[in-house]
Amino acid sequence: MAFDRKTLVIPNKTIFEEKTIITKGDVVIGDRCLIQFGIKTDGRIFVGEHVIIDGDLESSGDIGVDIFSNIGGKVESGGNVYFGEKVKVKGKLSLNGDLDVGDSVEIDQGFEAKGWINIRSPIPIVIYIFIYLMQLLKIGHSEEIDRILEEIEENDGDTIPISETFLYIPNNSIIGVQKSKIDYNLRIGKNSLLLGNYDIKGNIYIDDESEIHGTLKTTGNLFSGKEVTIHGNIDSNGDVRIEDNTSIGGSISGSKIYLSKTATVNGELYAKNGISFISSSQINAEEKIERFKTNTDIVDEVDDLLE
């Protein structure tokens, strides 16, 4: 499965505990992120450049941490581990596979590796490519240089193939205990539990039976599925749609609010363009009409909002 780079994806049955995010599948963290939790998964973990993770990393599979990233706790892997240059780990490193580390990696409490240990040359790959291109220029292979540059340009920005279930955190995101800030969209899977307030510069989609202990603020639209519980306010610059048996602990503010008659709101409703109360029969009828018109499932319409 591939993903876009502009949506924070929280998979089904992800649990935010006090210090740890427990999930399933692969975990991909973009560059320059701040994560004030540890991460535990049965998949692999990929961490970008200049990332700060305050807690532990625990994975049944491989773990890769790119250059200049800091891990505030221990690192445990059931597979192989790759650390880029200048990576720092405050805890102990334990792995069942091979260890591949770059220059000036610091592991404060030592490590245990059952496989091979490889310490790579400190020369960065960018400098290596630059030297290679300079040599090609000297011997007059300009066509080869053009081919290499075209391949680099074509591969830039491609989607990343990962497991069918995954957690993805976009570049420059902050996932905090009290407050999280994302410059992109947010998608929360079913039966998930999130902690903290979320400031989103995009759209928010919450799947059925999830629970959020905090306030949601978004510049875009917000869609909440059935039997969702939000212990806080909803503040949206776009439209807000609340489905059946959903409970909102605070107020709702949006351009237009679509509210199920079986939903509960303990606060006030603010809507510049009005409030529409919808019943289950209306929702089902709208879904059937939409499927008939587009020959697709109504979920595709929600997915379009997140693109």
195 vs 116, more confident: 195
Same domain, 220 and 130: no
Q: Tokens representing 85?
A: 């240059």
Q: What percent of the chain has pLDDT over 90?
A: 69
Q: Which of 3-17, 46-60, 129-143 has the highest mean pLDDT?
A: 46-60
Question: Distance between CA atoms of 20 and 182, rounded to whole angstroms?
Answer: 19
The residue-averaged pLDDT of 152-165 equals: 62
Same domain, 144 and 101: no
> How far, in Å, are 22, 53, 71, 108, 122 from residue 169 at the CA level?
14, 12, 16, 27, 28
Quick check: 299 pLDDT over 50? no
267, 251 Cβ separation under 8 angstroms = yes
Quick check: 300 pLDDT over 60? no
Same domain, 55 and 100: yes
Q: What is the pTM of this model?
A: 0.80
Same domain, 65 and 142: no
Q: How confident is the model at residue 304 (pLDDT cuts 50, 70, 90)?
A: low
Same domain, 109 and 218: no
Q: Which of 96-105, 213-222, 256-265 has the lowest mean pLDDT?
A: 96-105
What's the total number of domains in the chain? Answer: 3
Q: Which residues contact 155 (CB under 8 A, 6 or more apart)?
A: none
Quick check: 214 pLDDT over 50? yes
Q: Is residue 15 part of a domain?
A: no
The residue-averaged pLDDT of 109-136 equals: 70
Mean of all residue pLDDT scores within the chain = 85
Same domain, 38 and 89: yes
Q: What is the pLDDT of residues 234-287, one digit of tens each?
A: 999 999 999 999 999 999 999 999 999 999 999 999 999 999 998 765 555 555
Q: What is the pLDDT of residue 124?
A: 55
Q: Which residues on neighbouring strands pair with residue 81, listed in sequence order?
A: 63, 99
Q: How confident is the model at residue 198 (pLDDT cuts 50, 70, 90)?
A: very high
Q: Is residue 162 part of a domain?
A: no
Give the range of the structural domain holding residue 58, as residue numbers without chain letter.
Answer: 20-119
Same domain, 108 and 140: no
What is the length of the chain? 307
Domain end, chosen from 73, 99, 119, is at 119
Q: Is residue 283 part of a domain?
A: yes
